[in-house]
Amino acid sequence: AQSVTQLDSQVPVFEEAPVELRCNYSSSVSVYLFWYVQYPNQGLQLLLKYLSGSTLVKSINGFEAEFNKSQTSFHLRKPSVHISDTAEYFCAVRMILTGGGNKLTFGTGTQLKVEL
Amino acid sequence: EAGVTQSPTHLIKTRGQQVTLRCSPISGHTSVYWYQQALGLGLQFLLWYDEGEERNRGNFPPRFSGRQFPNYSSELNVNALELEDSALYLCASSSDRRTENFGDGTRLSIL
Q: Which of B48, B101, B103 sits opposite A101 (nearest CB)?
A: B48
Question: pLDDT tens digits for A31-79?
Answer: 999 999 999 888 999 999 999 999 999 998 999 999 999 999 999 999 9
Q: How close, in Å, is residue A115 to chain B by CA atoms?
A: 25
Note whether A2 and A26 are within 8 A (CB).
Answer: yes
Residue A70: CB atoms within 10 Å: 5
Residue of B nearest to A49 (CA): B99
pLDDT, position A85? 96
Q: Are strands A110-115 and B10-13 parallel, antiparallel or unpaired?
A: unpaired
pLDDT, position A98? 77
Q: Show which residues on chain B lie within 8 Å of chain A, measured between beta carbons.
A: 4, 6, 31, 33, 35, 42-43, 45, 48, 50, 55-56, 58, 90, 92, 94, 96-105
Question: pLDDT tens digits for A75-108?
Answer: 999 999 999 999 999 999 998 887 666 789 999 9
Question: pLDDT tens digits for B75-100?
Answer: 999 999 999 999 999 999 998 888 89
Name every residue whose Cβ is closer than 8 Å to that of residue B50 and which is 6 or more positions away in sequence.
Answer: A101, B30, B31, B32, B68, B97
Residues A43, B24, B69: CA angle, nearest 5 degrees: 140
Q: Which of B31, B42, B101 sits opposite A106 (nearest CB)?
A: B42
Closest CA to A34 of A59, A17, A9, A11: A59
Lowest-confidence range among A16-20, A64-68, B34-38, B97-101? B97-101
